[in-house]
């Protein structure tokens, strides 16, 4: 599954799942640009400690000029872009009755518009190369819904529809576009759950445990590799069996 000589961009790579993805792609041999509003340097330093090549870029993915500048920087440093991972995402939970317009907009802006801006920005180099991988981190919530997360679910379901449409637009040019839908993955949020909450959550998961960021990273590494050349427009669940298609 080697990614030697490949260049990857990981949004939201400063911590959590994005950091695990960046580290895994680097271990596979890719050069990795971390685009985050915070902590990009920390992930880049860890990649360099592993002997890999990294670029730490401070980018707000909702701002077109910052996205364009980041893509230009990667191209001027490394000359190509093979893999884009749209991972950055936020939540602003609340029941719809009480949801503020600002909470709706913030989630749609980061989770969906950010992926649109970055995907559009990398298409030109990928089209020229006649090769590329665009992988977006959606969520099982986009497939099954979740009370209190109408904005988040809409953004993640949106990412899936976006990816299928883009997959059809660029398939003939050697570019694949896929999503990963994680279920419950260990994070600051799941660490804060009490025993009863944890049990209620795990009762829904056939494999009986919370996933790790590395489980998501492994699926990204596969989709990014040449082994996944014949897979496009798909959503792969990494959820311990929570949702079965
Ligand atoms: N943790 C889970 O259980 C879980 C489950 C399903 C899906 N996901 C999805 O996986 C992705 C990563 O989740 P996580 O748990 O690691 O989250 P996290 O909050 O730990 O990390 C998200 C990263 O995105 C960055 N970010 C936020 N807004 C940004 C912006 N405007 N521009 C650039 N960077 C920005 C943050 O700074 C942060 O480093 C998200 O898309 C999330 O929706 C997570």
Q: Flag whether 221 is in a domain.
A: yes
Residue range 79-104, pLDDT digits in tens: 999 999 999 999 999 999 999 999 99
Cβ–ligand 1 contact at 86 (below 6 Å): no
| Residue ranges making up the domain that contains 230 | 7-185+212-238
The rounded distance, in Å, linking the Cα atoms of 216 and 116 is 21
Q: Flag whether 47 is in a domain.
A: yes
The CATH number linked to 147 is 3.40.50.720
Counted domains in the chain: 1
Task: Select from 9, 12, 158 the residue to mutate for testing ligand 1; criterion: most ligand atoms less than 8 Å from CB.
Answer: 12
Q: Flag whether 202 is in a domain.
A: no
What separation in angstroms does the CA of 178 have from each of 4, 162, 220, 237?
21, 10, 10, 11
What pLDDT does 245 receive?
Answer: 83
Q: Flag whether 1 is in a domain.
A: no
> Ligand 1 center to residue 70 CA distance, Å?
19
The rounded distance, in Å, linking the Cα atoms of 89 and 86 is 9
Q: Flag whether 201 is in a domain.
A: no
Catalytic residue among 104, 118, 152, 162: 152
> Ligand 1 center to residue 128 CA distance, Å?
30
Q: Which atom in ligand 1 lies closest to the alpha carbon of residue 190? A: 3
The rounded distance, in Å, linking the Cα atoms of 131 and 138 is 23
Phi, psi at residue 169, to the nearest 5°? Answer: -70, -35
Residues in the chain: 245
The rounded distance, in Å, linking the Cα atoms of 150 and 228 is 32
Residue closest by Cα to atom 13 of ligand 1? 17
Q: Flag whether 65 is in a domain.
A: yes
- Spell out the per-residue pLDDT of the chain, length 245, in tens: 699 999 999 999 999 999 999 999 999 999 999 999 999 999 999 999 999 999 999 999 999 999 999 999 999 999 999 999 999 999 999 999 999 999 999 999 999 999 999 999 999 999 999 999 999 999 999 999 999 999 999 999 999 999 999 999 999 999 999 999 999 999 887 888 899 988 988 999 999 999 999 999 999 999 999 999 999 999 999 999 999 98
Residue range 151-164, pLDDT digits in tens: 999 999 999 999 99
Q: Flag whether 205 is in a domain.
A: no
> Ligand 1 center to residue 89 CA distance, Å?
4
> Ligand 1 center to residue 48 CA distance, Å?
22
**Residue 152: active-site member:** yes
Q: Flag whether 15 is in a domain.
A: yes
């Amino acid at each position: 599954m080697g990614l030697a000589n490949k260049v990857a961009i990981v949004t939201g790579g400063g911590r959590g799942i994005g950091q695990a993805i960046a580290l895994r792609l680097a271990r596979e041999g890719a050069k990795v640009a971390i685009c985050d509003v915070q902590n990009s340097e920390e992930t880049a330093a860890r990649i360099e400690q592993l002997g890999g090549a990294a670029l730490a870029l401070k980018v707000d993915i909702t701002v077109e000029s910052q996205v364009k500048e980041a893509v230009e920087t990667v191209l001027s440093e490394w000359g190509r872009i093979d893999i884009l991972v749209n991972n950055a995402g936020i939540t602003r939970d609340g029941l719809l009755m009480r949801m503020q317009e600002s909470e709706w907009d913030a989630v749609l802006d980061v989770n969906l518009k950010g992926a649109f801006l970055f995907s559009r920005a990398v298409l030109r180099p990928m089209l020229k190369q006649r090769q590329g991988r665009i992988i977006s981190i959606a969520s099982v919530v986009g497939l099954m819904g979740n009370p209190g997360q109408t904005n988040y679910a809409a953004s993640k379901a949106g990412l899936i529809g976006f990816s299928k449409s883009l997959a059809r637009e660029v398939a003939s040019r050697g570019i694949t576009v896929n999503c990963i839908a994680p279920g419950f993955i260990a994070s600051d949020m799941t660490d804060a759950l009490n025993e009863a909450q944890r049990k209620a959550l795990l009762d829904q998961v056939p494999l009986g445990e919370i996933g790790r960021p590395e489980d998501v990273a492994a699926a990204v590494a596969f989709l990014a590799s040449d082994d996944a050349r014949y897979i496009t427009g798909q959503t792969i669940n990494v959820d311990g069996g929570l949702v079965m298609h």
